[in-house]
Amino acid sequence: MSKNIAIIGSSGAIGNAFVEHYIKDSSVENIFTFSRNATDHVSEKVSSFEIDVESQDSIQKAASYLEGCYLDRVIIASGVLHTESFGPEKSIKDLNYETLSKVYSVNTIGPALVGKYFLPLLNKENKSVMAFLSARVGSISDNKVGGWYSYRSSKSALNQIVKNFSIEMKRSNPNAIILALQPGTVESKFSEPFKKNISKDKLFSPDFSVDMMSKVIESADTSSSGNLIAWDGEVISP
C-alpha cells in the first residue's frame, strides 16, 4: 500500500531529515511538506506548502490543501528552545512573559492546532501515525536539575495534549496512533549552544535520529498511543 506523508516543520534539521528518509522509502507515494517558506525538492514525490504554526488561520489553510487526501504518517517537527533574543532560563529571575509566550506558542499551541486540523485527515482504514517531536526534559518525573522553565513546561503540556488526542482518537479512529517522540540530542542550530557539554556518542546526526524514530513509528501499535517514546524505543515516564 502506498503511503501519504505530511511533515510540519520540514525546513529544520530533523524535519528535513524526515523528508529525505521518506523520499528513499519505496512504499511512500506522496510527501507533503510544510514550513514557513515552501521549498522545492528534487523528488517528484514532494509537494511543499507554507505554514505558520503560530497562526491558527495558517494551520487551517495548510490542512485544507490536503482535503480529500488521507494521511498515513504525520510528523510535527516544529519547535523552539532559543532564538537570538532569548535562551532557556537558568533560574526564576530569568522568567518573562515574552519568552514564555513564544515558546508555548511554537511548542504547545501550534502543535495542538495542527492536531485539530490534521487528525481528521488520518487514514481510517489502516494504521496511521501522528508523531509530535517532544523532549525527555518534558517529563516531570525525570526532572532532577530544574531550569529551562518555558521549554520543559511547554513539552510537558504537549505530552498531555498527545495523551488527550490518543484517548479521543480511540473513539473516532481506532487505527490511529498518536505519539510524542524524543529524538535525542541532534546536531543542529537547535543544539549548537549546548553541544560542548555533550559527549560525542550522545550527539546524533539528524539522519541517525530520524532512522531510529522511524523504526519506533513503524513498530508502534495502538497500545503505544499516547506515550512519550525515546529514539531507542524507551517509553519515558510522564
Q: How much is the pLDDT for 201? A: 72
Q: 224-233, pLDDT tens digit by residue?
A: 999 999 999 9
Q: 88-103, pLDDT tens digit by residue?
A: 999 999 999 999 999 9
Backbone phi and psi for residue 111, each to the nearest 5 degrees, phi listed first? -60, -35
d(CA 167, CA 147): 31
Answer for the pair 105, 55: CB distance below 8 angstroms, yes or no: no
Domain count, the chain: 1
Q: Which domain holds residue 185?
A: 3-236
Q: How much is the pLDDT for 44? A: 93
Answer for the pair 54, 62: CB distance below 8 angstroms, yes or no: no
Percent of the chain with pLDDT over 70: 95
Domain CATH code at residue 125: 3.40.50.720
Q: 102-158, pLDDT tens digit by residue?
A: 999 999 999 999 999 999 999 999 999 999 999 999 999 999 999 999 999 999 999
Q: 35-46, pLDDT tens digit by residue?
A: 998 777 779 999
